[in-house]
Structure 1
Amino acid sequence: MPPKRKCHFTDDLRRKYPCFGKSRSEFEAKCQICDSYVSIANSENFLAILNFFLWERKNMRCTDTRISSILSGSTDLEKHINTPKHARNIRDASTSKSMTNFVVHKSTPLALKISAAEGTLAFHIVKHHNSFKSMDCTSTLLRTLFDDSDIAKKISCARTKTEAIINGVLSPHCILMVSNDLKNISFVSISTDSSNHGNKKLFPIVVQYFDHIQGGIQVRMLDLQEINNETAETVTSLIEGVITKHNLNKKIIAFSGDNTNTNFGGLNRKGEQNIFYLLKNRVNSELVGIGCSAHILHNAIHHGLDQFGLFDIDALVLKIFNFFSIYTVRTNELKEFCDFVEVTYRNLLYHSKTRWLSLLPAVHRILQMFPALKSYFLSQNKSLKILEAFFLDDFSECYLYFIHSIMSLFYEKIKDIEKENNSILEIMAIIGDTVESLRERIDSKFLPLSIKLVFSKLKKDGKGSSCDNFAARALSVYEVTEEYLRKWSELFSEFEINTFNFFKISSF
């Protein structure tokens, strides 16, 4: 019997049929698409192959290429390619994505870029105070917008992963950076304040220090913890634990907080059950206490306005806003009054007592529509008594003008105080300028020009004595406010060093 001839899976076959690869033996080929093995041994004997050639020649099909194909084993590969199973698997593969499109291999340049992109997205969430929920669709959106980017295709950073990156990576890294910076700092001040988040009471621990390498005053948050109460003992223990953790016990020279009894024991700073007293006993006996200067300005203006005795401006603004805020019919009626008196309608603004800068814009908006508002409320059969009494008063508009005038002064000063990198010397200068401005108003018996114009009309109606009474009340507001500021600014007297007067000198 003639010897049998077996075909090998050669490199030529691999190049000709790229869907096949090396198999378990040299006489087989593995179909990568079907994940199956195809034998190419061609085990027919020589006589059978010769009879096949004769049949091929008889049918005019026996060419050199055909003979080479039979002898090389490619016939078996072509038979497999032409099977319905192979065709179906090719079709399925074209509509399905490989797992490599979703799996990120670690320690590769692409993986590092993807991690950097996800970390940047998480930092963006923190920077702009966005909700974690917004990240649920961000990854899908990026894959859709940047379908040609390998990084965007594999970004997977929904709310759970984003929160994990922030809490497990970014937050520890930031705290570590601050701790490393504080190692080279000799003096640090510490601040804290309570923040209610739902039914949770959170206390941030903030440090302020001067670093000439990073460009001056630095403000950093060291910790944020939830506590059960805000007693002096509880908060002091919290501060002690944080400064001990970061080895700051010998570096703390100042404590800053609100001017509450819990923090400082009042204006005279007496008593032993306050945070400032406890920290002086436990951390540094020469600790300096610095109250919130923005609170001082805010409380000063409200303390002064309480002496005016005409109306409660906070309640007045809130009543007017709430009267129209959710009522479409009332708002449409007000728009008609605005058209009648030829005043442009504008939305009324909300004011909150805990938002110190919201009062001036709210008063300004009422003044812009004062003729329309006055006509509207005086035309109502049943109106709120406080609003009816206010708009019936001849000096209601003068009162708003006065509030607007004095609040403009404090509005700018509070904005200056709320800047991030202020020092105690700059704070003292701002409060000093405010006191000086009030003294100038007292000496000149200042009244805004808008009030004087209204006075001229009222005096013609024989209400000169009432105008003088109003001017006297305005003067008393200046005096009471100035006295309040001077009293509270005495707390900063220990920082009055003439050497630092250059802070007030303009640069050449």
Structure 2
Amino acid sequence: MPSTPQVQAAQVIDPSQNIPTISTSTQAQSSIKSHVTTEETINAEILWALKVVCSHYSFNSCHDIADYFALMFPDSNIAKKMSCGKDKISYLVSFGLGPYFQDLLKVKLKTVNDGFVLLYDESLNRELNKKQMDMHVRYWDTDKVVTRYYGSAFLGHATAQDMHEKLCENFHFDGKSVVQISMDGPNVNWALFKLLSEDLQKASEKKFVDIGSCGLHTMHNAFRAGLASTGWELGHLFSLLSWLFKDTPARREDFTSLTCSSDFPLEHCQHRWVENVEVAKRALK
């Protein structure tokens, strides 16, 4: 019988050796799954990263934490697959969660009808041996004032022109949305304020609200002056209440036994009146 191409192909191909069976396919899938992070595991790692940030844990404190989770929860496959070392948490926070929350902040700032305040301050970063300029934004959100960290820029020279370039490079917003610039008082900052004011006037012929280098200090002083004009001497009263129970265990015990409360007066700050709301609430209580 002559050999045909079909017969030759049939002799070369052995279906039993080349066609994957159901069992081999299942084994391959299970092998792949063992090396793929599940969504539940990723969610657990994200939650732990958020806990690290909110509780101000250091990244080094996460060293070998996954091993502890596996020991604490031996019946959890999620805990066994978690890998939350210091390097992974650092990257997860810096390049995963950080950009996500910054995008949310950018969207929020675009919806703020009354504009927002841009705050910046620069100081020496000894770790990097560079000057670090931190940027924050402050805006009115429903029924309260919110201050949020926006980002940081690093400089060698920190002249007004250098800082102006870094602000324009990192702060991607139309200057018309910024109603006031909050800063320290050195001359270089006033020079930067002048440059930013010129940018705003070119874009919209508007001006920033000018209430001094730091609007918060101005508001504190205005609030303090208003209270002083009443003659109530609330600052003196709050200080006395705080001093009455400071380092006095006997008075604290008597107060607790009489009132069944362990909420003692809070310490009053004379130069930050706007932030003494909790002090006043505790005094009324």
Q: Is TM-score (shorter-chain normalized) higher than 0.5?
A: yes
User: Aligned match of 2:109 in 173, 182, 191?
Assistant: 182
SS of 1:263's partner is helix
**How far did 1:257 drift?**
0.9
Check if 1:202 corresponds to 2:129. no
Q: In the alignment, which residue of structure 1 is the partner of 2:151?
A: 223
SS of 1:250's partner is helix
User: Aligned match of 1:288 in 195, 199, 209?
Assistant: 209
**How far did 1:101 drift?**
9.2
Q: How does 1:469-488 map to 2 (within 5 A)?
A: none
**How far did 1:121 drift?**
1.4
**How far did 1:123 drift?**
1.7
What code does the residue aligned with 1:252 have?
Answer: V
What code does the residue aligned with 2:213 have?
Answer: G
Between the two proteins, what is the percent identity of the paired residues? 23
SS of 2:175's partner is coil
Tell whether the 8 Å contact from 2:176 to 2:200 is kept in structure 1 after alignment: yes
1:228-272 per-residue CA deviation (whole Å, 9 max, x = no partner) reads: 1322221122222333x2x332211100011222223xxxxxxxx
Instruction: Tell me how far apart the structure 2 counterparts of residues 113 and 160 of structure 1 sit (CA, whole Å).
Output: 20
SS of 1:156's partner is coil
SS of 1:430's partner is helix
User: Aligned match of 1:238 in 138, 157, 166?
Assistant: 166
Instruction: Tell me how far apart the structure 2 counterparts of residues 235 and 196 of structure 1 sit (CA, whole Å).
Output: 14
Instruction: Tell me how far apart the structure 2 counterparts of residues 174 and 248 of structure 1 sit (CA, whole Å).
Output: 20
Q: Which moved more, 1:282-291 or 1:218-227?
A: 282-291
1:283-309 per-residue CA deviation (whole Å, 9 max, x = no partner) reads: 245112443377x6xxxxxxxxxxxxx
Q: 1:170 to 1:155 in 2, by over 3 A?
A: same
Give the number of aligned pairs.
Answer: 204
Check if 1:277 corresponds to 2:189. no
Q: 1:433 to 1:229 in 2, by over 3 A?
A: farther
Q: 1:166 to 1:288 in 2, by over 3 A?
A: same
Q: In the alignment, which residue of structure 2 is the partner of 1:254?
A: 180
User: Aligned match of 1:141 in 48, 68, 73?
Assistant: 68
Check if 1:432 corresponds to 2:195. no
Tell whether the 8 Å contact from 1:101 to 1:153 is kept in structure 2 after alignment: no
SS of 2:106's partner is helix
Tell whether the 8 Å contact from 2:200 to 2:207 is kept in structure 1 after alignment: no
Tell whether the 8 Å contact from 2:175 to 2:199 is kept in structure 1 after alignment: no
1:340-367 per-residue CA deviation (whole Å, 9 max, x = no partner) reads: xxxxxxxxxxxxxxxxxxxxxxxxxxxx
Check if 1:165 corresponds to 2:92. yes
1:433-463 per-residue CA deviation (whole Å, 9 max, x = no partner) reads: 576599x8xxxxxxx9xxxxxxxxxxxxxxx
**How far did 1:196 drift?**
2.4
Q: Which has the higher contact order (CA 8 A, sep 6+)?
A: 2
**Which blocks of at least 5 consecutive residues in structure 2 are unaligned?**
1-15, 18-23, 25-29, 234-239, 241-270, 272-285
Q: In the alignment, which residue of structure 1 is the partner of 2:35?
A: 103
Instruction: Tell me how far apart the structure 2 counterparts of residues 216 and 248 of structure 1 sit (CA, whole Å).
Output: 24
Q: 1:197 to 1:102 in 2, by over 3 A?
A: farther
Tell whether the 8 Å contact from 2:185 to 2:213 is kept in structure 1 after alignment: yes
The TM-score with structure 2 as length reference comes to 0.61
Q: 1:125 to 1:229 in 2, by over 3 A?
A: farther
Instruction: Tell me how far apart the structure 2 counterparts of residues 102 and 436 of structure 1 sit (CA, whole Å).
Output: 71
Question: Aligned-residue CA RMSD in angstroms?
Answer: 3.4
SS of 2:83's partner is coil
1:55-112 per-residue CA deviation (whole Å, 9 max, x = no partner) reads: xxxxxxxxxxxxxxxxxxxxxxxxxxxxxxxxxxxxxxxxxxx97896335xxxxx11
Tell whether the 8 Å contact from 2:138 to 2:145 is kept in structure 1 after alignment: yes
